[in-house]
Chain A
């Protein structure tokens, strides 16, 4: 197992190199020039050219890429073209906010989704199942901005239970919790819908297995059959999806972050793309891919724990 983890960690730099190369090429292929954006769309050509020289944008692309890479290897991600702040500082300021939001959504979603899925499977074709799955369908179908705005309007604006937008204090404070709640629930709803459906179908599959019939035949209580025998085996696909979703959330939930004015990595990256702030986009993508790769590794390790048949050595 340790050798497997080590191997995966060794592959990581290759993945990151590939990601940085792709990001770099895509940014430079996209129309729109950062120097032009700094100078303003109507600025004289000389001014634009001067800013390009100053930023090193007049050099061949491979030179620019090399400069970026050698800087990154020394831990220097450069400075934002727009704000002049170090990129590392900008990304590391936004990352905890994104993690906070993602983790909050991750705590809410399975807590609600798994019991719903299990119940639907156990009471298959009952009204419980039908209404749970209808709710899930609704959750999947409703776009995130609509969910966000409806929750905001209902719980924050009309009832005044939560702040409308913005991030409060740290998440362990009551103020911080109140602020994170609505954006986290907005994200969680989509997850709940997916996870509940997934749990239900995984459970149904497991419940048809022979060993479940055996368990029932030897007179075990239905509760024990479902929770002790079936659930653990049904969790494998759920964990996979959960892991992928978490990794996705860490990349920033752009729409949710925008609606709730949440200063996370997603908004940072999108703003940077819009203004062609190359160093910030690179930095945000790099950090995001790093977390993505890590989370995937953790998920894979979890497999081995959940299913003794999976061995990596």
Chain B
């Protein structure tokens, strides 16, 4: 098998690994191409920031080299859902509000805001003295222009984040009024994501279709300098930037003079460049390398919690899986610890339900209620459902074998995970037929409903991931469970319009209970994110959903390589 072959080579070559992607991206093929709202759409979530253990005084100056796995698609926030695009364009542009490291919303370009009691009118007071890189002053007209462009650009894939917005008004240069068609508690969260960046109309009109490709003009801490496709993207410090959000220690200008992003897709290559000292920040450390790099004297690794869940989805309308006892049996048959140690290199915690424990709205009751790894219980449930062991150990009912397909991406980690699960389920008499395919075909197959079970992972920033996955409107994707339940739908709609936080918490808990009791999926793991940091780099603090965000606190120590 290929996996084995590659491992052989790994042993021969310290510091190199031949499989293409680390486990995170392998499972969440979506992360490569961007997951839309759930990757960056945010809400009160609470995650601990990860900080490099430094107590030195930050220094100004120096160039920072950062590795990226893929070229960002575009730096125009309204035409892409690409993960690296959202991460890089937030350095150039700013948003009205920002998401703090603890998941709360804090002022950005808006100094303050008021929400009308009915939740339909949001009034923002804008910060004065803010300028675009081109020198133009930032005013309410820019906000109106940007939001209207976001909503109406024909190819704007993320416009649905502000579906409820009916009008953007500008009573004066420093006031913006946003009117909604119905209360939407996630509006501020959605205005904190990269796609909600404020653009300069003149620059957009001057550059036309080339906006975000050959240039960009924002109010952010870094200016666009040069972008050579598939090679490097260079940004330089905006010396006038003094309006950095208070969630950072440094409010601007940024410490480093320049940030050079180098595009290095191959894992072995990027780790070698990192260890050779040519890269200061390694964006994704391959799981297999973490242990070794942790012990290295020249570099350090920073682990951080991210709101992410890897799971196996079950299609509830399937003739076999329609029986909830079968779905529960599959939950009991799955050994998450084994997946963590064999596929995740120990860099994960078992997932009990939909939400990461640090998500605002997490239901603590799941810790008692969760399906434990218990093959005997799984067998018992399958017996109750009428599935009896056949001659080869695979269960049968009315002459039909208990055989399920399992659609997964074609990365090494995804295939390995599928094989581990296949073996675990076989022990209780379930046969799993693995179909692995490259990501575009993978998502197409799921959309076409060819699956009975499938594996994927999701990144989110708030409990609205529940709406995203389980509302009947979200079929065929992302509701690939084909779950259509009026009670669930009603609760999900209320979760978006209920202004009272206590009530909202109750709704979220009830929803998690429904997903759990109906065993709509097999939650697997919450994976830990890892970035590599060179010895000369300080101030690295990873945001749970915005990665290195605005690079304001990061500095380079002079005199060190």
Contacts and interface: CB of A to CB of B under 8 A. Distances in A.
Contact of A84 (B76, B82, B278, B443): B76
Given A41-B443, A263-B228, A164 B438 contact: no
Contact of B35 (A42, A50, A83): A42
Interface in A246-289: 258-261, 263, 267-268, 271, 274-276
A153 to B, nearest CB: 6
A79 B36 contact: no
B31 to A, nearest CB: 10
A83 B73 contact: yes
B477 interface: yes
A20 interface: no
A200 interface: no
Contacts of B79: 38, 84
Interface in B251-277: 262-266, 268-269, 272-273, 275-276
B547 interface: no
Given A83-B229, A261-B265, A51 B155 contact: yes
Given A152-B272, A164-B269, A83 B444 contact: no
A51 B478 CA distance: 18
Interface stretch (B9-17, B377-385, B388-396, B551-559): B9-17
A157 B277 CA distance: 10
Contacts of A160: 276
Contacts of B342: none
Contacts of B13: 149-150, 153
Contacts, number: 165
Contacts of B81: 38-40, 43
B194 to A, nearest CB: 13
A261 B444 contact: no
A176 interface: no
A208 B503 CA distance: 94
Interface stretch (B138-146, B206-214, B505-513, B514-522): B206-214
A84 B212 contact: yes
B80 interface: yes
Contacts of A90: 229
B157 A47 contact: yes
Contacts of B478: 41-42
A157 B276 contact: yes
Contact of B30 (A38, A40, A145): A40
B33 interface: yes
Contacts of B154: 50-51, 53-54
B441 interface: yes
Contact of A276 (B229, B273, B275, B440): B440
A291 interface: no
Interface stretch (A27-35, A131-139, A216-224, A229-237): A27-35
Interface of B: 9, 13, 15-16, 18, 29-30, 33-38, 70-71, 73-74, 76, 79-82, 154-155, 157, 159-160, 209-210, 212-213, 228-231, 262-266, 268-269, 272-273, 275-276, 278, 437-441, 443-447, 468, 474, 477-478
Interface of A: 30-33, 36-44, 47, 50-51, 53-55, 79, 82-85, 90, 93-94, 145-146, 149-150, 152-153, 156-157, 160, 163-167, 258-261, 263, 267-268, 271, 274-276
12 contacts: A31-B440, A31-B441, A37-B440, A40-B81, A42-B468, A44-B160, A51-B155, A82-B74, A85-B229, A94-B230, A164-B269, A259-B269
